[in-house]
Structures are given as C-alpha cells and as structure tokens.
Amino acid sequence: MSDSVVTPKEAAPRLSSLFRRASLFGTLMLGGGIMLHAVETYITATLMPSIVRDIGGLSLFAWATTIYVAASVLGSTFVAVRPESVTLNRCYVAGAVLFGIGSLVCAIAPTMETVLVGRAVQGLGAGFLVALGYAFIRFVYPEPLWSSASTLYAAVWGIATFLGPTIGGIFAAGSAWREAFALLVPLSIVMALAAPKLLPSGEGERVTTRTPFAQILLLVAAVLVLSLASSVTSEALRALLAIAAVAGVVATVAIERRAEARLLPAGTIRLASPLARVYLIMLMLLVTICSDIYIPYFLQVLHGVTPIVSGYLVALLALGWTTAAFTTARLKGRSANRVIVAGAAVEALATAMLIFALARHNPESEFLVLATATLFIFLMGFGIGMGWAHLVTHVLHLAPAGETDKASAAITTMQALGAAFGAALAGIIVNSTGLLHPGGVAGALTAAHWLYGLLALPAAVAILFALRLPHEGG
C-alpha cells in the first residue's frame, strides 16, 4: 500500500503519456481487451430485442446480462487466486480464447438457452480481460499514470459507444444478429496471439492463499437464484428466491469474515475499512446503472424508434461516462472525493427522472420527448464517470501489501456483481410490474415507472458512503 504524496506535476500527467514508446503496446493490449468487452456489451444491448423476436425467450431477457456477469465473477476471481505458475499474460490468452468461443456459441445458437450458454463463456473470458486491465496497471505504468490509465478505459468505452450500436444496429435491422457475434471471434484470436509478445509476464509479489471456493459458489448461486426470481411467474416463489439470494450474500460475508482463504483483501469485509466503502460505492453505482438493459426495449416499444437508433441512444450512457472521466481526470485529493459524491447524486437523480422522460407513450417519436429522455440517459453515465477513475485509484492505493492482485481483481468482481444484481433486480421489477402481464404498451409503461424509481435508490445510498472516503493516496 502506498502512502506517498504525489506532487501536482506528477499527479496530472497527460493521457498521451500512456502512448509513449515504453507503454504503447501495453496500452494497446489492455485497451483492446476492454474494447472486446465494451463493444460486445453494446452489440448485445442493441441485438436483444431482435434476438427475442427471432428465437423467443422474452422472460429470459435479463438472463443474457446476468449470466454473463455471474460468469465474469469467476473469471475475475481466478486472476486473483491463480496458481503462482500462471502469469498474468497467460491469463490474458485464456480470457481472449474463452471470449471468442462464447461469441461463436452465440452466433450459432438455435434457442435463447443456447445464447445463455454462449454468454456464460463470454462472461468468463470478459472477467479475465477486465480484471487484467486493472491488475496490469502497476506493471505497465508508473504510479503517476494509474489514474490516467483508468481514464483510458473510459475512453475505450466511448469508442465502443459508436462501434457497438453501429455493428449491432446494422445487423439487427437486417435480422443478421448472428453475424454480429461472429465478428468478435477473429478479434479474440488476434488478442490471444499477441498477448505473450506484447504484455509483460506480470509476475510480482503477492500473497497466495487457497481458492475461496465457498464464497465464490455462494455469490454465483445468489446471482443465479436472483436471476431465476426475475423470470418465474409465481409471486410467492419469486419472493422466496429473492430471500434465498439475500441469504447467500449474508452467508458469503459471514464466511469471508473468518476465512483463511479470502475472496477480498484483508479487512475489506468491515464497513470501517476505507477499501470496503470504495467497493460498496462501486457496487451501488453499478446496480443503478444496470437499469439501462431495458432502455432499448422501452425505446422501441414506447417511443417507436428503430433498433439502431435505440442502440445509439442507450450508448449515450457510455458517452456520458467517457465525457465525465476526461472532465474530472486531473482532480486530486478533496476535489476528487467531492466529485465522487456529486457523481453519485447526478446518477441517482438522472435515473429517477427517466420515470417522467422514458416511461411515457410516444408512438410518434416526438423529438422533445426523446431529447429529454436522451439527456437523462447521458447524465446517468456522466454521474458514474465523474468518480470512477478516482475510485479505482483509491483501490490501488488502499490495497494491503502483497494483495494488489486481489484488490485489482475485486474491482472487476464488484463490477460483475453490481451488473449481475442490477440486471436481476431489473428483471424482477419489470416482470413483477407488468412487462409480461399485461405486456405491450400498458405493461411497459408500468414496468418502466417502477424500474427507474426503485433502481435510483442504490446510487443515492452510495452518496452516504462517498462522504466518508479518505483522500486519494492517503
């Protein structure tokens, strides 16, 4: 853990420093891994309405996201608890290969169930790649560039904002969603072949422990049980499954508190730990942001927009994240903490305002109505982007000695859990409030009202945790 004070000159390097000769290839590889994941996210968001129209499975809509991120928990965890003989660049190869295999399965899937299998394999690979992006930061860049490297990931998401919906929308409009998944296969192969040559091995000091199988299994089970709750029709069974999911999380915390084989860095399970508060903020913000998985559906059903337009509009969320990341990247200390608090407030408010802007019937696609909804979609992403790079920097500074790998991988674990629980909760909310019964426009209106009202709350809770953060590097 670093307690060093960074001088103003060192604290605000330019993003272009990441592309100097010493770190160029590392930047391209790490950015490429994040790019695979980010582009695929927007391809899938844009394609899902077309997929369910083609092969059915509307009740499994949220599962396409949930099973993906549940699998990514496993992938990110392996990075932290891998055997000592397995270097980080070997993990990168495995992640790229798994991502390519999963994309191929999605491309040839005859049913929604098969799509979910492919998504699970994709998610496992994505867990590797995203966790490695953070784990490699300290091997590829000097410490003053850590925050800039985190901002780079936001830039990658910004590029994906345009590539993903474009690819997904074009193929959705032509009912050729399978080809969109197939495009990711050769990209994965190239990344797998290049990793051993362009990335350092990533060997360094770390505390090795036994794999925390119990915690991993309980968390994944909780995610899957909550997802199942989102797709069952019986309200009593849905409530029972939701309670079981909560029990799984509570059991995970209880085991982690006293286990020798830990999933998170030492001391993180206590709320008094600053690192615990950072992870909780990440988790809460991501739960809220995952209410976006139904935005393309609501735009198409309620506002009469085409698949490609709905893809671009939801992608503005990532553009907001990117814009905010660049705007706030050079802030440090108290200013960085204030912007984390402000960002959580912006995200919570923008999500709540979608009740009025998105959850309304606009069959003529009136410009003013769509423009208002678009603004709040953008602000949802802007809010989380204001503080995300600073939260990542907090993790790298607060990590206990020898546990930086575990702390870095836990960022991805929080991302995956936030996305998984967010998607599952979104599924429970919309399926409980009319999306399936009565369905159609009336059901979509009711479901959208409840979805954005309830999922604004986690971001609001994150404000409370953000008020108690230490200064970066402190």
Secondary structure of 172-202 in the HEC alphabet?
Answer: HHCCCHHHHHHCHHHHHHHHHHHHHHHCCCC
Residue 352 in contact with residue 453, Cβ under 8 Å?
yes
**For residue 353, is pLDDT > 50?**
yes
In terms of residue numbers, what domain contains 281? 11-466
- The structure tokens 């844009």 sit at 46
- The structure tokens 């907001």 sit at 320
- Helices and strands per DSSP (H, E), number in the chain: 19, 0
Q: What percent of the chain has pLDDT over 90?
A: 33
Compute the average pLDDT of residues 403-417.
Answer: 78
Inside any domain, residue 471:
no
Residue 95 in contact with residue 188, Cβ under 8 Å?
no
Angle at 406 between CA 401 and CA 408, to 5 degrees: 100
114-158 pLDDT, tens digit each:
999 999 999 999 988 988 887 788 788 877 777 778 777 767 766
Q: Rg of the Cα trace of the chain?
A: 21
Strand ranges inside 56-128, DSSP E: none
Inside any domain, residue 310:
yes
Tell me, what's the pLDDT at 206?
55
Inside any domain, residue 16:
yes
pTM higher than the cut 0.75: yes
- State how far Cα 67 lies from the chain centre: 13
- How many angstroms separate the Cα of 251 from the Cα of each of 257, 402, 458? 10, 26, 21
Tell me, what's the pLDDT at 154?
67
Inside any domain, residue 1:
no
Inside any domain, residue 472:
no
- How many angstroms separate the Cα of 247 from the Cα of each of 85, 213, 240, 296? 36, 17, 11, 32
Residue 49 in contact with residue 444, Cβ under 8 Å?
no
Inside any domain, residue 5:
no
Interatomic CA distance for residues 382 and 368, integer angstroms: 21
Six-digit token pair at 401? Answer: 């000695």
Inside any domain, residue 474:
no
Average pLDDT taken over every residue of the chain: 84
Interatomic CA distance for residues 291 and 380, integer angstroms: 10
Tell me, what's the pLDDT at 238?
85
Other Cβ atoms less than 10 A from the Cβ of 401: the count is 12
156-214 pLDDT, tens digit each:
766 776 677 777 777 877 678 888 888 889 989 999 998 888 887 766 555 556 778 88
**For residue 4, is pLDDT > 50?**
no
**For residue 28, is pLDDT > 80?**
yes
Residue 273 in contact with residue 407, Cβ under 8 Å?
no
Q: Give the CB-side neighbour count of residue 51, counting CA atoms within 13 A.
A: 31
Q: What is the CATH number of the domain that holds 190?
A: 1.20.1250.20
Per DSSP, the three-state class of 413 is helix
Interatomic CA distance for residues 139 and 349, integer angstroms: 38
Compute the average pLDDT of residues 225-246.
Answer: 83
- The structure tokens 């769509």 sit at 370
Instruction: Give 322's contacts (C-beta < 8 A, 6+ positions apart).
Output: 154, 155, 157, 158, 161, 381, 385
Q: Which of the given ranges, 74-83, 110-119, 302-311, 411-420, has the highest pLDDT on average?
A: 110-119
Tell me, what's the pLDDT at 70?
76
Inside any domain, residue 396:
yes
Instruction: Give 74's contacts (C-beta < 8 A, 6+ positions apart).
Output: 124, 127, 216, 220
Residue 274 in contact with residue 251, Cβ under 8 Å?
no
What total of structural domains would you count in the chain?
Answer: 1
